[in-house]
Amino acid sequence: MSFPWAKEYTPQHPLMRYLDEKLPVPRLVYNAVGGGYPVPRNLSYMWNFGVLAGFCLVLQIVTGVILAMHYSADSTIAFAKTEHIMRDVNWGWLLRYAHANGASFFFVVVYLHIFRGFFYSSYKAPREMIWLLGVVIFLLMMATAFMGYVLPWGQMSFWGAKVITGLFSAIPLVGEPLQIWLLGGYAPDDAALNRFFSLHFLLPFVIAAVVILHIWALHIPGSSNPTGVEVKSESDTVPFHPYYTAKDGYGLGVALLIYFAFVFFLPNYLGHPDNYIEANPLSTPAHIVPEWYFWPFYAILRSFTADFLSIPAKLMGVLAMFAAILVWFFLPWLDKSPVRSGHYRPLFRKFFWFGLIPTMAVLFYCGGAPAEQPYVMIAQLATAYYFLHFLVILPIISSIERPEPLPYSITEAVLGKDEAAQLEPAE
Amino acid sequence: MTETTVTANSVEGAEGTDGVRRRDFINVAAVSAAGAGAAVVLLPLISQMAPSADVLAESSTEVDVSGIEVGQAIKAVFRKQPLFVRRLTPKEIEEANAVDINSLRDPQTLAERTKEGHLDMLITMGVCTHLGCVPLGAGEGENKGPFGGYFCPCHGSAYDTAARIRQGPAPKNLEVPPYEFTSDTVVKVG
């Protein structure tokens, strides 16, 4: 698809014309991220994070494939192999730190991408499919990150594997056999480590495939924009290249500075020291926490401390944790307001900045804190608000809210008047 | 179309009298910086495939040669590859010295392939210089080939008693690794 004014790919060189006839890959690239993709002219830096997430995926695949060249998924030597990478392999320390911090960086970028979607209601029609695919990507990322964290076979790896597969044991009747099946044993060992390694290698490529669908679906309606007003005419858009290749390139440069500050100066800041102790099935570390990017969901898991209507607390916690993400799938239908952008939705905006964001911050903090008071109670209140926000507050807001007046077009939002696009003199 | 032309011009940057736009400078500078960065990133990505520190640390081997009888050979391991250590008989030394050097594919004398004072200690890699198989001849009762040294069964390369290539596709003599006698009976290879 494209807007009728999208520039046509016109190869000049005979070789490129030949290629365009036989295998039009350059045309595909031109129409996807080149001059042939018209993009709203008013995108802010919040629209950088899709490209950054794509960059992270490539970064993780490249460093991960290399790490796999030096690693062995044998529980007797996996821990030693990790140290082998750190000490013996040329530049191994850099590659492993780049991969471990790359995972964190990937989640930072994706969380910002998702919150951009929340604020600007990027999930609304006609972009529901993009959103649904995005949630699928996020779930795949969580599975991949979890299994990757098991591979160094430290204490946190082992107990993470045990606790997370333990979630499945909460399922009535089939739970315990299911956990044993997942692990290939009664506790994480060789069988579990090998299948986690295999799947950790496979899933990034599955993610890449869903990313392609995500981008494909995006290119049908085209990118959303901070006003939420759909593109009306050519003056509302600029070609992706050079305008957004330059803007994304700048954003990438800034992001890489922050990323490498961690890789080089704080490589273990986001990790846990206990993971430098080899896995010991006989001793659980005093305070086990998942990686920081799981903390909000971990807090929800731990919020259910008492049986609820004859459903055991353990099962409730697991259901709530999964529901906390699955509820995102229903967002396009929970938020019925015809206005997309939070900039024109006064009530929605208040609940976003003073409801959802602080709640996520509290859940994040409590998920990383020990499972004791007052954190448990605070997390319980935050969990309650979290579900209330998506399931009750959003639908109510969208029916009672009176949105602020929208600009007629993107051009008007940017230049004050739509016909100004033609009158603006050259610098 | 007219309005985009104007819009495009207004953001393309001022053009100097020489036809070079100020934006060209930023463009070239940014792409160059990114290109240099990408080139530097290649260094660790390529270097990681080279032997790691633990592999390099195993790269010298000590061999006790005192137990090798005259006419006998042993196989040791150097850099995860077979190493042939052979004590030549006087007849084998004689045969090796009798050869016309200029007739050889890889001209070397036995003296050049051994250490001074140890003309009978022939130490070579057990790796055929053709495509890397282990030649026969070091083990008890193995086929030593038509020249009494080593014979590679893969593609029929025959080496003489100084482990020089005499017949078959191999281009070079069996490699003599760097080594030294640390005492009369101990050899340090590598």
Determine phi and psi for B176, rounding to 5 degrees: -95, 115
Q: Which residues of A touch B2 (CB under 8 A)?
A: 422
Give me A403's structure tokens.
């949105």
Facing A90 at nearest CB: one of B10, B13, B47: B47
Q: What is the DSSP string of A96-117?
A: HHHHHHHHHHHHHHHHHHHHHH
Domain boundaries, chain A: 43-271, 299-421
Burial state string for A398-424 with b = 16 or more CB within 10 A and e = fewer than 16: beebebeebbebbbbbbbeebeebeee
- Where do we find the tokens 């000049």? A12
Looking at the domain covering B56-189, what would its CATH class be? mainly beta
Cβ-defined contact of A249 to B30 (cutoff 8 Å):
yes
Q: Is the pLDDT of residue B4 over 80?
A: no
Give me A255's structure tokens.
């992001």
pLDDT attached to residue A1? 54
A95 touching B (Cβ < 8 Å): yes
**Biggest distance spanned by C-alpha atoms of chain B:** 98
CA distances, A131 to each of A115, A138, A210 (Å): 12, 10, 12
Closest CA to A49 of A203, A252, A188, A298: A252
Q: A261 or B17, which is more confident?
A: A261
d(CA A404, CA A410): 16
d(CA A326, CA A142): 13
Give me A283's structure tokens.
């001793």
Cβ-defined contact of B10 to A424 (cutoff 8 Å):
yes
Instruction: State pTM to two decimals.
Output: 0.87
B3 touching A (Cβ < 8 Å): yes
A22 touching B (Cβ < 8 Å): no
Locate all alpha helices (DSSP H) within A169-189, ordered by sequence. Answer: 175-183
ipTM above 0.85, yes or no: no
Give me A426's structure tokens.
């050259």
Under a CB-based contact definition with an 8 Å cutoff, are residues A151 and A193 in contact? yes
A4 touching B (Cβ < 8 Å): no
d(CA A149, CA A96): 12
**Mean pLDDT of each 10-residue bin along chain A, 427 residues long:** 85 94 94 92 94 96 96 95 95 96 96 96 94 97 95 94 90 89 92 96 97 95 93 91 92 95 95 92 88 93 83 88 95 92 94 95 91 88 94 93 90 78 50
Cβ-defined contact of A95 to B47 (cutoff 8 Å):
no
Residues 23-42 on B with a CB inside 8 Å of A are 30, 34
pLDDT attached to residue A308? 77
Facing B48 at nearest CB: one of A90, A235, A427: A90
B9 touching A (Cβ < 8 Å): yes
**Dihedral sign from CA coordinates of A209, A293, A53, A55:** negative
Number of alpha carbons in the 13 Å side-chain half-sphere of residue B165: 21
A337 is catalytic: no
Closest CA to A410 of A335, A340, A331, A333: A340
Q: B21-37, pLDDT tens digit by residue?
A: 888 898 899 999 999 99
Looking at the domain covering A43-271, what would its CATH class be? mainly alpha
- According to DSSP, residue B21 is labeled B
Q: Which residues have CB under 8 Å from A375's CB, separation 6+?
A: A365, A366, A369
